[in-house]
Amino acid sequence: MGYEEAGREGSVEPSSGVPAAVLENVFDDPGQGEPGQDRIGVHLVWEILLLAGLATLGWLLWRADSDALRGDNLRTLLVGLVGLGLLALAAGLSLRTAAPNLAVGPIAVAAALHYAEQGDQGLAASVGPAVAVAALGGLALALAVVVLHVPGWAASLAGAAGVVVYIERRSAPVLVQGDYDPARTSGYLFAGFAALAVLGGLFGAIRAIRRLVGRYRPVTDPARRRGVVAAVVTALALVCSSVLAALAGVLLAANDPGPVTPDPGLDWTVLAIGVALLGGTSAYGRRGGLFGTLLAVGLVTVFQAYAPARGWTVDHWTVGGVALGVGLLVTRLVETYGRPRPGSPDRPEPVGDGTISTGWTTPSSQPVGNWPPTLPTPAEPEPIDPWRDPRWEDSPRRWDAGER
């Protein structure tokens, strides 16, 4: 199977009429006409609002239950934040490549169940197989997505169904057998997650990296392949997404003193994707913020701790559904205001008819000269030599007839 890259054979972008030399400096994917000089301002404005919301919720939680932000409760809260954050990173990474992985929730629950059953054998012996199986499952999912070139959400939903079958083989909750306590290293875990989230956002803002990661995003017919490079990057992203989801499941299971319930885990998928979208990651792929994932995870985690303090009963479906709805609005804002302004140096005005968008171009108007136009001056006629007139050669010569 070939991985054709449509639109790279012409020297002029078909819908705008902009020369290819200009597109090389202006557009992120010149052959496809994707703008590359995205505006980061919309992400910064939204992240300031997220920061304000996080500070407000933190103050309200302190007022309602100050013990939730102290001692062991704070350490447990931080570990829960890291677990949800790893799930959000898993979902956000797959969203960035335009191949959303809907199996992150079931993978996390399956890994949690495996760790709960095998935790007494040691951390490496219980976590290693779970991560290895998640990596192999992510590789199988990636091959299905990039080789068949099918939507990531559809293939991952089929994979999630297979993981749910594995989960439903257990009829009762499973108590965690290991003695690993992540709360003892909660500060290091939070610092590592924060560094991973922020560095990922900063690297994702670099033009070359954003262009590479988001190359799988369709720009014309979504059924057309986007090239070998796009397939390889998307496959790696799906594998890493599955591994992050497994690590998140192990961390959440170790942080919860109660047993691990064999649920399908789709509520965790909704929550993870909702948090990723809430942080500013576009549902269409490629675009994303800088600190949005970290702030969105903190906001949701603090709200989940604040709700019981106020006597509210909320579950993952409720929080995830609200986050997903708001995140879709954020996607619209990001896609609308994250593009270069029309007419700016980063995005030249199209030469053709922008309304019809047929790719036709109109010739540029020429300066008008003198009007009415003057007729050209005729050339001077050459003088005729009478002795070379053809009449002297063609007329009958009477002296040849004997008349003298």
Binning pLDDT at 50, 70 and 90, where does residue 371 land? low
Task: Give the mean model confidence (pLDDT) for residues 40-67.
Answer: 94
Helix, strand, coil percentages in the chain from 3-state DSSP, rounded to 5 = 60, 0, 35
Task: Give the mean model confidence (pLDDT) for residues 2-26.
Answer: 42
Question: What's the confidence (pLDDT) of residue 122?
Answer: 83
Task: Give the mean model confidence (pLDDT) for residues 66-81.
Answer: 94
pTM exceeds 0.85 for this model: no
Q: Which residues contact 321 (CB under 8 A, 6 or more apart)?
A: 270, 274
Asked if 248 and 130 count as a contact pair (C-beta separation under 8 A), the reply is no
What does pLDDT average to over the chain? 82
Question: What's the confidence (pLDDT) of residue 369?
Answer: 53
Place of tokens 């449509």: 6
Radius of gyration for the chain, computed over Cα atoms and rounded to the nearest angstrom: 34
Residue 194 has pLDDT above 60, yes or no: yes
Q: Which residue has the higher pLDDT, 385 or 290?
A: 290
Considering the chain, what percentage of its residues have pLDDT values greater than 90? 57
| DSSP conformation class of 216 | G
Q: Which residues contact 312 (CB under 8 A, 6 or more apart)?
A: none
Place of tokens 């992050």: 244
Structure confidence by residue, pLDDT tens digits, 310-357:
989 899 999 999 999 999 999 999 988 887 666 555 444 443 434 433
Asked if 300 and 323 count as a contact pair (C-beta separation under 8 A), the reply is yes
Question: What's the confidence (pLDDT) of residue 367?
Answer: 52
Q: Which residue has the higher pLDDT, 338 or 115?
A: 115
Residue 197: count other Cβ atoms within 10 Å of its Cβ. Answer: 24
Question: What's the confidence (pLDDT) of residue 353?
Answer: 39
H runs (alpha helix) in 149-205: 152-167, 186-204
∠ at Cα 94 (106, 200), nearest 5°?
Answer: 115
The DSSP bridge partners found for residue 29 are 34
Question: What's the confidence (pLDDT) of residue 227?
Answer: 86
